[in-house]
């Protein structure tokens, strides 16, 4: 039996205390600050370019490793030449894509 000083329900079962409901600015553009934009990438780099960089880097490393392990002298020389050509090409093409896809209207801070 509950007394006036003790609540009648266990603290977990008790109804929640009434509090203010916070309206986060998820899609309310009026509640955003002057420097906030929910549509931009927070670091300024397009995330698909980051993913493509990781994917192509791993694929190139696996190819070169396989060429070194499975091939002879000619194949190892070809792997070195491939690395010397493919890495600058990969970096420059992904840098151009990142510059093209970057949000220039709302740059990162």
Distances (CA, A) of 44 to 9, 10, 33, 35, 105: 51, 49, 18, 14, 11
Helix (H, G, I), strand (E, B) or coil at 44: coil
State the pLDDT at residue 26.
Answer: 59
CB-CB contact of 64 with 79 (8 Å): yes
pLDDT in tens, 4-55: 555 566 667 766 667 666 665 556 667 667 766 666 666 667 788 888 889 9
**SS3 of residue 5 by DSSP:** coil
Q: Per the confidence metrics, is the pTM higher than 0.85?
A: no
């Amino acid at each position: 039996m509950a007394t006036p000083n003790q609540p009648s329900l266990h603290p977990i079962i008790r109804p929640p205390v009434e509090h203010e409901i916070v309206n986060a600015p998820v899609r309310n553009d009026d509640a955003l600050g002057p420097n906030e934009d929910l549509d931009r990438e927070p670091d300024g780099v397009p995330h698909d370019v980051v993913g493509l960089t990781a994917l192509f880097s791993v694929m190139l490393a696996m190819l070169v490793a396989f060429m070194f392990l499975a091939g002879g002298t000619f194949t190892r020389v070809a792997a070195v030449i491939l690395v010397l050509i493919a890495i600058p090409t990969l970096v420059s093409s992904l840098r151009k894509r990142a510059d093209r896809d970057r949000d220039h209207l709302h740059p990162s801070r």
